[in-house]
Every structure is written in C-alpha cells, then in structure tokens.
C-alpha cells in the first residue's frame, strides 16, 4: 500500500509534497498547504501566502498532482494508460473541470472519474445490487464526511452513487494530534518558546501515539520528547492510555500526574465522540427525510480514513450498526475501489467507428457499444457492421475505433499534437465531444483479395463485433464475395 499525504510545502527554493513535508517537520509550517481537495470542491478562490507567492487551493492541488504523477511517469504511460480519479459526491462537476485541464496539460489522454462513495463500495464490497444502500463513513486527517448512498453501477454516467443523505464536519485526526500535543505541553509546563521549538517533533510524536493506541491490541502508548532547549536536556514522557474508568462512565478524569494520561478523557473534554455521532445521525436523518431510507436497510457501513480507527469511534459505529461495520481497509479502500471500478463488467465509455455517410456526405461516429453495456457481450448477438472501401482497387481497409466521451472537448493542448505538430487522434468527424482513437497505430485489419470494386462490394465485408471478459474488442470478418472467414474473434483493441 502506497500512501502519499496530501500536503505541499513551498519554501523559497523548492516545493515538497507528502512525506517530504512530514519528514522535515513542516506539516504545521505557515508555508504548508493541506485540505486542497476541499477548497477545490467548494470552488474556493481564497489564496494562502507562501514563500513562493499566494497559492489558491486549485494552484496548490495542481502543483501537488503534477509532482506526484511525474514521479511515476517512468512506470505508466500518460498517452496510453487509463487514469481514474475519485472525487467527493458533491464536488464532481468542479473536480472534473479542474482535473481535465490538469490531465490535458500532462498529456493524459484517457481520463475516468468515479465518485468516492462508489469507489469505497467497490473497494470493500465489490459489485453492489441495484437497490443496495450503504453508509460511507469517511473520517480523515481534517474532515469527517458521512454519506448515505444507493449505488447504481448501471448508470450511464461516471457518477454512480445516488446521494440519499450527507453530513460533514471540520473534525479529524489532525485535531486529535493537536489536542495531544497541547495536553502534553501543558502537563510538562512548556513555555511558549519551548512549544515553538518542539512543535514539529511534538506533532509527529503525538500522531504516532494516536496511531499506536488505535491498534486494538495496544492499550497505551508512550509519548516521549527530548527537550534540548536551555542549558540542560530534559526527557519529557507521558503514557497515554486508551480509556480509563472515568471516561467509560462518561466523564473525563483528572489525571494530575504529568506522566500518566488518558486519550479517552481528552477526547471527551473536546466533545469529539459527540460531534462524530451527531454527524452520523444527521446524515441518516437526511437520508430518511429525503429518500425514506431506514437504518435497517443499510447493507454495510464502510469506513475510510485513519481517524475511524480511534477506539471510541469504533465502539460508536459498532453500537449503531452491530455486525454491519467494515473497517478492514480504511486507508486504501477508495483507491482499491477506483482500480476495481475499471474492471466492473460495464463499459465506461461510448465506442464508435469513424464512418462516411454517403447520403449526408459527412463523416460521423457510427456507434458500436454504448456506455453501460455489460461484458462479455452475448456471443449470439454481435454488433454487425459492413466494412467498405473508399476507392476501386483497394486491397487494405482500415476501421478506426474511437472512445467517445460524454465530456465536451476543450481547445486542443500540446499533448494532443505529435512532434511534427499533427493531431495525434485526428478524425474527420465534426464533434464537440472528447475522443481518443484506440487503434491509431494499427487501423487496418481487413485484407481485400480480390481488390475492392465499389459498385460490387457495398455489402461485401461483414464485421461482427463483440467484447470478451477481458474487455477486448473482438471482430470476426466474413467475405461474402469469396465465402471465406478472414478473421475469427480477432482482438482489435482493449476498451
């Protein structure tokens, strides 16, 4: 599992992302930006001043993703591989617009979007029934988002999660880290100068202690910091227990000894669990009011985000959905679901042939398979098309297969132009839709022997198209003139 924290730091001389920021203790630095996704989703134009000038959430997000994707560019192909991005349900259109511009600038030609609840369901549960209801409990670093959804995998849109009810709050693991750090500083009577000097180290140690206590097999964790501020070094240490008798009874204990404390009591004092529970209930109430969803109809509550593993949160979820809580993949369920979404047995785009309409005297896309088509397609019902030549004497006939998106095409970027300035995916079809030619390097798969005679051969080459279980477009070509089968289930391209 590869996790890159969504942090970006702007210094005067360099830009750092992910663990580069954490390893240098710069997570709380004034020139570090996080929660970019939320800012982009909410169309925020509010910028933050950094050592490299003011940066909006969209600008910071672009810098972050460009660096991340370029780091893996030696393992993937921007031109040929398909990229899937996930987005919050309520931010889908905004994200699509921003991500499409970014991907075009990098030369990514095949882009898919999937809403996060759908990805989460796919990551945990696999394909869902048409009327199955789920609750996605996304408790991350800085935010809590709860969505009650119905998944429709047969939806013709990329947006497959039907939102039944939603609630959110600015609450997350980062707040717990800060509360632990503040509690530790108060227990050891750190002055303002010591607090500033030890801030980055204390923040990392607090996060490590929180993660350790979130392990069901561990009841306590030591938070130890060595202070070298002043003339003498000091070893500062507090043992944080998961829970105690006091917090189990619903009240925070005193824990006067600076070496002994309780995370459960600390969270009680900050109304942490109360806020999380209220957010969950508000999402369920919204789903009941707007869609009539009953708690009993929820197939599973699916957990994402490391803060969901905090012990009191686990207990609350189990109490609310006894036996229907799944939190085995909190860190990568959405990413796994996005990958699995590619192989859900439903075509994710429209596919078409470039064809010349002699009656209208225009080129057009002639549909092969529509978005939402299940595969493998029935072998007894292939899509039938006639392959025709364009001139007498022709011995090779090409058929260009295009992936046609529902997205409106933008102005062409340099990524769509080859080294000589020619369009890489040029088509004679007049269309506003985005498209990609899938067999650009091998468009010819019909050999005409004898050569084409236009008057004679209007219905000579019968092409039978189907899609197999590996999402490959197969073609069988019959030559009605000679009675020969030229190709049998020939794989043209992977859709």
Residue 240 tokens read as: 């944080």
Distances (CA, A) of 409 to 102, 356, 403, 425: 14, 22, 13, 13
Residue with tokens 């090779």: 396
Residues 419, 420, 425: CA angle, nearest 5 degrees = 80
Across 301-319, b (16+ Cβ under 10 Å) vs e yields bbbbbbbbbbbbbbebbee
pLDDT reported for residue 418 = 38
pLDDT reported for residue 267 = 95
pLDDT reported for residue 348 = 65
Residue 455 near residue 389, CB atoms below 8 Å = no
Residue 459 tokens read as: 């219905």
Distances (CA, A) of 27 to 10, 18, 203: 11, 9, 8
> Residue 331 pLDDT > 80, yes or no?
yes
- Tell me the mean pLDDT in the region 194-214: 88
> Residue 230 pLDDT > 90, yes or no?
no
> Residue 392 pLDDT > 70, yes or no?
yes
Q: Is the dihedral of CA 19, 108, 124, 272 positive or negative?
A: positive
> Residue 407 pLDDT > 60, yes or no?
no
415 band by pLDDT with thresholds 50, 70 and 90:
very low
**Most confident stretch, 120-134, 165-179, 280-294:** 280-294
pLDDT reported for residue 24 = 84
Tell me which of 240-244, 321-325, 491-495 is least confident.
Answer: 491-495
259 band by pLDDT with thresholds 50, 70 and 90:
very high
Element (H, E) at 237: strand 234-241
Answer with the residue of higher pLDDT: 470 or 52: 52
- Tell me the mean pLDDT in the region 197-216: 88
**Reported pTM:** 0.64
Instruction: Assign 3-state DSSP to the chain and report helix, strand, coil percentages, each to 5.
Output: 30, 30, 40
Name which of 280, 277, 257, 281 is nearest 267 in CA terms.
277
pLDDT reported for residue 414 = 33
Residue 438 near residue 495, CB atoms below 8 Å = yes
413 band by pLDDT with thresholds 50, 70 and 90:
very low
* CA separation for the pair 279, 452 (Å, rounded): 69
Q: Name the pairing type of β-strands 362-369 and 444-447.
A: unpaired
Coil, strand, or helix at residue 346?
Answer: strand
Residue 201 near residue 301, CB atoms below 8 Å = no
Residue 130 near residue 299, CB atoms below 8 Å = no
* CA separation for the pair 429, 415 (Å, rounded): 20
Coil, strand, or helix at residue 185?
Answer: helix
pLDDT reported for residue 421 = 38
Coil, strand, or helix at residue 83?
Answer: strand
pLDDT reported for residue 450 = 93
pLDDT digit string, tens, across residues 100-125: 889 989 988 888 887 788 788 888 86
Domains and CATH numbers, the chain: 1-108 (no CATH), 121-331 (3.30.420.40), 350-494 (2.60.34)
What is the residue-averaged pLDDT of the chain? Answer: 84
- Tell me the mean pLDDT in the region 161-188: 88
> Residue 215 pLDDT > 90, yes or no?
no
pLDDT reported for residue 126 = 66
Q: Name the pairing type of β-strands 260-262 and 234-241.
A: parallel
Answer with the residue of higher pLDDT: 10 or 347: 10
Tell me which of 140-144, 197-201, 429-433, 463-467 is least confident.
Answer: 429-433
Contacts of 455 (CB under 8 A, 6+ apart): none
Tell me which of 37-41, 234-238, 330-334 is least confident.
Answer: 37-41
User: Using the 8-state DSSP alphabet, how is residue 383 labeled?
Assistant: E
Tell me which of 224-228, 347-351, 382-386 is least confident.
Answer: 347-351
- Portion of the chain with pLDDT greater than 70, in percent: 88
By residue count, the chain amounts to 495
pLDDT reported for residue 424 = 44
- Tell me the mean pLDDT in the region 123-138: 78
Residues 420, 421, 426: CA angle, nearest 5 degrees = 115
User: Using the 8-state DSSP alphabet, how is residue 89 labeled?
Assistant: G
């Amino acid at each position: 599992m590869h996790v890159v924290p969504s942090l970006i730091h702007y210094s005067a001389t360099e830009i750092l992302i992910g663990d580069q920021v954490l390893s240098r203790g710069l997570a709380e630095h004034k020139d570090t930006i996080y929660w970019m996704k939320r800012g982009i989703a909410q169309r925020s134009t509010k910028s933050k001043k950094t050592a490299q000038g003011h940066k909006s959430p969209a600008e910071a997000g672009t810098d972050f993703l460009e660096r991340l994707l370029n780091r893996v560019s030696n393992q993937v192909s921007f031109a040929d591989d398909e990229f899937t991005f996930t987005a919050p349900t309520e931010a889908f259109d905004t994200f699509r617009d921003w991500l499409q511009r970014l991907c075009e600038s990098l030369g990514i030609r095949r882009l898919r979007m999937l809403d996060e609840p759908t990805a989460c369901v796919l990551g945990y549960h696999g394909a869902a029934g048409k009327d199955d209801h789920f609750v996605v409990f996304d408790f991350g670093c800085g935010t809590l988002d709860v969505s009650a959804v119905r998944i429709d995998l047969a939806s013709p849109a990329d947006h497959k999660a039907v939102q039944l009810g939603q609630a959110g709050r600015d609450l997350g693991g980062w707040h717990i880290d800060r509360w632990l750090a503040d509690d530790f500083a108060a227990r050891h009577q750190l002055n303002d100068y010591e607090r500033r000097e030890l801030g980055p180290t204390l923040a990392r140690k607090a996060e490590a202690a929180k993660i350790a206590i979130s392990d069901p097999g561990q009841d306590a964790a030591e938070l130890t910091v060595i202070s070298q501020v002043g003339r003498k070094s000091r070893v500062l240490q507090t043992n944080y227990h998961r829970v105690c008798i006091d917090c189990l009874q619903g009240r925070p204990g005193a824990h006067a000894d600076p070496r002994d404390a309780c995370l459960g009591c600390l969270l009680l004092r900050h109304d942490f669990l109360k806020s999380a529970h209220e957010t969950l209930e508000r999402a369920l109430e919204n789903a009941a009011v707007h869609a009539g969803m009953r708690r009993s109809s929820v197939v599973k509550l699916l957990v994402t985000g490391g803060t969901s593993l905090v012990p009191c949160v686990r207990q609350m979820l189990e109490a609310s959905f006894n036996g229907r809580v799944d939190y085995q993949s909190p860190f990568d369920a959405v990413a796994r679901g996005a990958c699995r979404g590619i192989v859900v047995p439903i075509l994710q785009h429209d596919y078409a042939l470039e064809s010349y309409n002699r009656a209208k005297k225009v080129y057009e896309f002639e549909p092969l398979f529509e978005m939402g088509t299940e595969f493998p397609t029935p072998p007894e019902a292939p899509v039938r098309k006639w392959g025709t030549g364009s001139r007498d004497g022709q011995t090779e006939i090409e058929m260009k297969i295009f992936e046609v998106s529902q997205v409106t095409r933008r102005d062409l970027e340099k990524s769509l132009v080859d080294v000589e300035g020619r369009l890489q995916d040029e088509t004679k079809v007049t269309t506003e839709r985005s498209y990609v030619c899938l067999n650009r390097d091998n468009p010819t798969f019909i050999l005409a022997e004898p050569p084409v005679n236009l008057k004679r051969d209007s219905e000579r080459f019968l092409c039978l198209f189907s899609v197999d279980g590996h999402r490959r477009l197969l073609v069988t070509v019959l030559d009605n003139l000679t009675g020969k089968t030229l190709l049998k289930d020939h794989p043209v391209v992977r859709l």
